[in-house]
C-alpha cells in the first residue's frame, strides 16, 4: 500500500535583479532575527537560568520592528522571520534533549543564506511560484516534474557561495513500496573502497575531492594573491566556491545512485554506526574520510528504506567486524589498518573488508 510522505524537490532558478535584491534583504533579516533571538535566549539562560519560549521571541520580533534601528525588519515578508524563530526553538529543544550542541550564531560569510516560506507567503498557480513581496513568479528550471496534483506546503529559497540560486519545494507524495525481495546485504564503509558488500563486491571510492585537488589548489593560490576587499578577490573567491560546489554536487550524485541501488536490490541493508566526528581527528585520514561522506550515505539509506518499505539495521560501532572470522567465529587480538588480508586459525584466508561486511550482516540480523 502506498504511503503518504513529505518529500522535497530542489530546483535551480534565475531571479530578476529586483527579486535577487528582495531575497538578499530577506536573508539578511532572517539572520539578524535569528541572532537577536539567540542572544536574548542565551542571556536569559545564562544570567537568570530561565528558558525563553518561541511565543516570547515572537513578541520580541514585533517589538523590534517598532524600533528605529530595526524598522527595516518590517520591509520583508514576516513569514521567513517567524520560521527562523521556529528553527531556533527546535535547536534549543534538541539541545535540552541532548540530541545536539548549543545553537550558534549565524555568520554572513559562513552560514547558508536561506529563507523559508510557508503556504501563506507564496502563491502556487498553474505550475508557477510567486513569493511574498514579489510581483512576478520565479524563473525556475524544472529539471524534473513535481508529482501530479502536488500542492507545496513549504518553499525554501537559498543562495550558495558559488552564486547559484535554489528553491526547495516540499510536497506530500504517495510512494508505493518496492516489491519484496529475499536479498540482504551488509555494507562495510571504507576509504579505498567506499562500500564493500557482503556479496564480495567492492564499490570504488570516486575520490571527487582528489580528482579536483589541482584545480582547487590553483584557485586558492589565485585567491591568496588578490588584495583584500577588491573586486578581483571577490571574483577569485567565487571561482574557489564553484570548484567546491562541483565536488559536492558530484559526490552527492554518486551517493544518491549508490544508496538507491542498495535499497532497490535488497530487502534488508545492514551498516555500521560509525563515529565519523571522532574518526576525522586522525589527520592522516581526515581528508579522505570527509570526501567519502559516510554520514550522508547513511542519511540517504535511512529515508529511502523508510519510503520504499525496506529495512535498515545498524550495528554497534564497537562490534569487531574486521577481527572476527565470519566462518568459525575466531576473534583476533589485533588488526592494524595495513592488514588487508589475513588467514584464520581455521585455514580460511579473508579479504579484510569482505569479511567485515559479512560479519556486519550477520550481526545485524542477529540483533533484530
Query: Which residue has 543564506 as its cell numbers?
Result: 113
Please report where in the chains the cell 512576478 appears, as a residue. Answer: 136
Calpha distance 338→90 (Å, rounded): 44
Among 22, 116, 173, 272, which one carries the catalytic annotation?
Answer: 272
Q: Are 349 and 343 within 8 A, CB to CB?
A: yes
Q: Of the listed 116, 173, 209, 353, which one is catalytic?
A: 353
Q: How far apart are the first and last CA of the chain?
A: 24
Please identify which of the residues 22, 188, 209, 291 carries the catalytic annotation: 188
Task: In whole angstroms, give the CA distance from residue 68 to residue 62.
Answer: 13
Q: Residue 363 in 3-state DSSP?
A: helix
The continuous run of DSSP H or E covering 6 comes out as strand 3-13
Specify whether 188 is catalytic.
Answer: yes
How many CB atoms are closer than 10 A to CB 362? 18
The Cα 157–Cα 97 span in angstroms is 29
Catalogue the active-site residues: 188, 272, 353
Amino acid at each position: 500500500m502506498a504511503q503518504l510522505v513529505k518529500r522535497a524537490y530542489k530546483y535551480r532558478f534565475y531571479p530578476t535583479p529586483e527579486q535577487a535584491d528582495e531575497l538578499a534583504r530577506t536573508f539578511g533579516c532572517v539572520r539578524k532575527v535569528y541572532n537577536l533571538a539567540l542572544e536574548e535566549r542565551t542571556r536569559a539562560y545564562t544570567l537568570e537560568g530561565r528558558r525563553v519560549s518561541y511565543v516570547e521571541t515572537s513578541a520580541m520580533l514585533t517589538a523590534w520592528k517598532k524600533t528605529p534601528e530595526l524598522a527595516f525588519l518590517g520591509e520583508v515578508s514576516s513569514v521567513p522571520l517567524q520560521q527562523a524563530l521556529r528553527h531556533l526553538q527546535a535547536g534549543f529543544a534538541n539541545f535540552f534533549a541532548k540530541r545536539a550542541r548549543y545553537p550558534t550564531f549565524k555568520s554572513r560569510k559562513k552560514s547558508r543564506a536561506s529563507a523559508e516560506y510557508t503556504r501563506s507567503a507564496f502563491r502556487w498557480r498553474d505550475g508557477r511560484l510567486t513569493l511574498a513581496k514579489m510581483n512576478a513568479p520565479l524563473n525556475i528550471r524544472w529539471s524534473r516534474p513535481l508529482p501530479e496534483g502536488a500542492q507545496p506546503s513549504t518553499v525554501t529559497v537559498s543562495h550558495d557561495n558559488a552564486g547559484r540560486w535554489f528553491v526547495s519545494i516540499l510536497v506530500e507524495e504517495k510512494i508505493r513500496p518496492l516489491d519484496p525481495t529475499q536479498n540482504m546485504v551488509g555494507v562495510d564503509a571504507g576509504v579505498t573502497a567506499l562500500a564493500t558488500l557482503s556479496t564480495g563486491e567492492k564499490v570504488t571510492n570516486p575520490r571527487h575531492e582528489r580528482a579536483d585537488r589541482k584545480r582547487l589548489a590553483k584557485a586558492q593560490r589565485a585567491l591568496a594573491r588578490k588584495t583584500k576587499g577588491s573586486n578581483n578577490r571577490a571574483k577569485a573567491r567565487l571561482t574557489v566556491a564553484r570548484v567546491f560546489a562541483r565536488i559536492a554536487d558530484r559526490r552527492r550524485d554518486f551517493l544518491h545512485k549508490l544508496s538507491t541501488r542498495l535499497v532497490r536490490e535488497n530487502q534488508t541493508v545492514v551498516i555500521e554506526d560509525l563515529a565519523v566526528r571522532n574518526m576525522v581527528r586522525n589527520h592522516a585520514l581526515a581528508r579522505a574520510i570527509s570526501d567519502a561522506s559516510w554520514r550522508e550515505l547513511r542519511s540517504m539509506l535511512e529515508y529511502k528504506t523508510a519510503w520504499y518499505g525496506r529495512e535498515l539495521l545498524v550495528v554497534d560501532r564497537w562490534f569487531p567486524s574486521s577481527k572476527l572470522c565470519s566462518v568459525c567465529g575466531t576473534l583476533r587480538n589485533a588488526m592494524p589498518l595495513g592488514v588487508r588480508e589475513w588467514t584464520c586459525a581455521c585455514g580460511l584466508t579473508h579479504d579484510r573488508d569482505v569479511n567485515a561486511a559479512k560479519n556486519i550482516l550477520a550481526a545485524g540480523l542477529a540483533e533484530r
